[in-house]
């Protein structure tokens, strides 16, 4: 009774002579029995989801199709880089460079105006001293004012520098966001959050 349970029920199928010769050829090539090769063939068809009535073309043809799809995808990526991404990066870099030049020019102009103002004030104070003999007191008073102005200008210059660095960082993040691929969803969200945090920071 126990022996009958372990036995595998076998059956037969009808095939034509041409198919039989093919099976014999495959059995000889792979050193398998007919039952084994038929079993393995059906397992392969099932796992590969192949419709026996619509067999796939040769492996070479399938590889050619895959290579063509890859080439099409590479061409699309290169076209996108050339037409969309590279101009965007160049424009962003150009804006950042121009902005940096403008800030540098404004800073130099402020420093020059501050220096000129200080020189004019000193000259005026000296003339007043010649007339009224109170050079020390007036110069000390005006120097304190000028020192206050200098601190204010330095503070403004530092604020401008910080804002410039923040803007350049935002532009850099936008550039990095633009280069993210289709599959970089999490990276895109992180970049957007970082940009919003920078914009909202005091």
User: Contact, 23 vs 38, CB < 8 A?
Assistant: yes
Q: pLDDT tens digits for the chain (202 residues)?
A: 455 556 667 778 888 899 889 889 989 999 999 888 888 988 988 887 777 777 666 667 777 877 888 888 888 888 888 888 888 888 888 888 888 888 888 888 888 888 888 888 788 777 766 666 555 565 667 667 777 667 767 776 777 777 677 767 767 766 666 666 655 667 767 777 777 776 776 5
- Least Cα distance to 48 among 64, 34, 36, 59 occurs for 59
Angle between helices 17-30 and 34-47 in degrees, nearest 10: 90
Question: Model pTM?
Answer: 0.30
Note the pLDDT of residue 60.
Answer: 74
Phi-psi region of 31 (alpha: psi -120 to 50; beta: other; left: phi over 0): left
Buried b (16+ CB within 10 A) or exposed e, 101-126: eebeeebeeeeeebeeeeeebeeebe
User: Contact, 198 vs 166, CB < 8 A?
Assistant: yes
Distance CA 23, CA 35 (A): 10
């Amino acid at each position: 009774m126990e022996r009958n349970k372990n036995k595998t029920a076998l059956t037969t199928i009808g095939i034509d002579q041409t198919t039989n010769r093919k099976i014999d050829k495959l059995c000889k090539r792979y050193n398998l029995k007919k039952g084994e090769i038929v079993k393995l063939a059906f397992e392969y068809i099932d796992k590969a989801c192949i419709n026996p009535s619509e067999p796939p073309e040769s492996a070479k043809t399938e590889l050619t199709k895959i290579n063509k799809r890859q080439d099409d995808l590479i061409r699309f990526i290169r076209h996108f880089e050339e037409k969309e991404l590279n101009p965007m990066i160049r424009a962003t870099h150009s804006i950042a460079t121009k902005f940096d030049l403008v800030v540098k020019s404004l800073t130099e102009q402020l420093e020059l105006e501050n220096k000129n103002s200080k020189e004019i004030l000193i000259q005026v104070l000296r003339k007043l001293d010649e007339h009224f003999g109170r050079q020390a007191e007036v110069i000390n008073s005006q120097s304190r004012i000028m020192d206050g102005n200098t601190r204010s200008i330095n503070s403004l210059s530092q604020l401008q520098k910080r804002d410039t660095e923040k803007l350049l960082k935002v532009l850099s993040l936008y550039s990095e966001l633009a280069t993210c691929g289709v599959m970089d969803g999490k990276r895109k969200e992180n970049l957007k959050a970082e940009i919003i945090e920078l914009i909202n920071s005091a």
